[in-house]
Amino acid sequence: MDKKNLNFSYFLHPRNVELFGIFLNQNLFDGSLLKIWNMNKFTGVLGVYNCQGAAWNNTERKNTFHQTKNEVLTGAIRGRDVHLIAEAAMDPNWDGNCAVYCHRTGELITLPYNAALPMSLKVLEHDIFTVTPIKDLAPGFSFAPLGLINMFNAGGAIEGLKYEVKGGAELLNLDDGYKGESSCVSEQRVENYSDELVGKVSMEVKGCGKFGAYSSAKPRKCIVDANVVEFVYDSDSSLVSLSLDSMPEEGKLHVVEIEL
């Protein structure tokens, strides 16, 4: 097990095939942000760069920089900018909704299918995003793991993922123990006050650090390696985070369970 790096499943891919030429000379490519994506088992990664004015100098054998027309480039990202993101979905009927975590700002948003997030970058600025398909467990209860969010390839830490729908899901329309408000992706943002679990998410995670996930409902309980642990839930962004304080034992993985 690699204890220092979280490796990708594929080589890096430019957003469009014709963009390969920009690696040779940025002066031949003007006016758009560069997007590069890759995949892990259960998440995608999207890098967005403003490389305007950068070019390889064959004489000096180094990158040189030139005056650009625009100091700031504006564009947008979508979940489908990670071309194979559907391969990470755990539902054959996945609706295309994604959780998107920005590593520069620490913000988590949800992007419905084909919705766009506007962004602007100055020359030589960049942003890295973890993109994860959202799994709907029951009305108002949806989830998407992010991984070790203090690392750029956060989702590379997730080696296993299992969703279980529990008996509480059948009571959603009958029991007033589920209360909440609307959210932009799911029809309701709710919290489970009943005695029945709606669902459980089980993950196998390598490494240590701050683990994060999107959860439309506040978890009832978080468990790491059979021990109940403290967690933080931001109801505004639906980010749930907890700490994996140490590396798992040699040859093993952390087992992270989140009960909803």
The residues spanned by each domain of the chain are: 13-259
More confident residue, 257 or 25: 257
Q: How confident is the model at residue 21 (pLDDT cuts 50, 70, 90)?
A: very low
Q: What is the DSSP string of the chain?
A: --SS----SS--EESSGGGGGGGTBGGGS-SS-EEEEEE-SS-EEEEEE--TTEEEETTTTEEEE---S-SEEEEEE-GGGSTTGGGG-S-TT--S-EEEEETTT--EEEE-TT--EEEEEETT-EEEEEEEEPEEEETTEEEEEEEETTSTTGGGGEEEEEEEE-GGGGGTTT-TTEEEE--SSSS-EEEE-SSS--EEEEEEE-S-EEEEEEESSB-SEEEETTEEE--EEETTTTEEEEEE-SPPPTT--EEEEEE-
Instruction: Please give the single-letter amino acid code of residue 200.
Output: K
pLDDT at 42 over 90: yes
The pTM of the full predicted model, rounded to 2 decimals, is 0.82
**pLDDT per position as a tens digit, 237-251:** 999 999 999 999 888
* CA trace torsion 23, 40, 240, 5 (10° rounding): -70
Contact 215, 260 (CB under 8 A): yes
Contact 48, 35 (CB under 8 A): yes
CA distance 69 to 31: 9
Question: What is the share, in percent, of the chain residues with pLDDT greater than 90?
Answer: 59
CA distance 104 to 130: 11
Least confident of 9-23, 48-62, 165-179: 9-23
CA distance 133 to 145: 9
Q: Which residues contact 11 (CB under 8 A, 6 or more apart)?
A: 38
Q: For position 253, what pLDDT does the model report?
A: 96
CA distance 4 to 155: 14
Class of domain 13-259: mainly beta
Nearest CA among 93, 98, 92, 95 for reference residue 79 = 98
Contact 117, 77 (CB under 8 A): yes
Q: What is the mean pLDDT of residues 67-84?
A: 88
CA distance 136 to 172: 14
Q: For position 169, what pLDDT does the model report?
A: 57
